[in-house]
Amino acid sequence: MRDIAFYLGIASLFTHELDAVPNHEWRALPLIRALPDETGMIVFIAAHVPLFALLIGLVASSNARVRLFSRLGVSAFLVVHGLLHALSIGQATYEFSSTLSNVLIFGGSAFGAIYLLLEAREQLVASDRTVRP
C-alpha cells in the first residue's frame, strides 16, 4: 500500500505538470515569470526533462538508502506543493481552478502524506522488532 501511495503521488505530480502548461504556471515562478511568455513556457517545459530524469533516477535507485530518502523527500514536497498551491489561490497569476487541476494537486498532496505516514509506521514497526528479544 505504501508503494502504491508513492506511485500515485508522483504520477499526480507528473500529470499536474502537464496540466501546468495550459494554466501558465511559469507566470507564477519567480525566475521564469520575467521572461517573455513563449520563452517562459519553453524554459518551463524544457526544465522538466532533467528534473524528471533526476527524480526518477533517485526514487528508483538500486541503493535502498538513496531510494528511501528520495521517496521521503518527494512525498514531503508533494505535501508542501499542495500547501503552496492553496496559498496561491486568488492571486492574479494563479489559473488552476478546474476540478482536474485540484484533484491532481491536492490528491498528490494526500498521497504524499499517506506515504509519509505509512513509512513512519513501517519504521516504528521495524524498530519495535529490533528492540524485542
Give the torsion sign (CA, 62, 53, 115, 1): negative
Q: What is the pLDDT of residues 10-44, one digit of tens each?
A: 999 999 999 999 999 999 998 999 999 999 999 99
Q: What is the pLDDT of residues 45-63, one digit of tens each?
A: 999 999 999 999 999 999 9
No. of H helices and E strands in the chain? 4, 0
User: Which domain, by its residues, includes 13?
Assistant: 2-131
Alpha-carbon torsion, ordered 10, 14, 15, 17, to 10 deg? 140
- 73: which 3 cell numbers? 523527500
**Separation CA 34–CA 31 (nearest Å):** 6
- Is 70 exceeded by the pLDDT of residue 132? no
Q: Between vectors from CA 131 to CA 114 and to CA 67, what angle results, nearest 5°?
A: 40
- Is 90 exceeded by the pLDDT of residue 130? no
Count of domains for the chain: 1
> How large is the average pLDDT for residues 112-129?
91
According to the model, what pLDDT value does residue 127 have? 81
Residue 36, helix vs strand vs coil: coil
Question: Where do we find the cell 518527494?
Answer: 74
Q: What is the pLDDT of residues 85-118, one digit of tens each?
A: 999 999 998 999 999 999 999 999 999 999 999 9
pTM (predicted TM-score): 0.90
According to the model, what pLDDT value does residue 126 have? 85
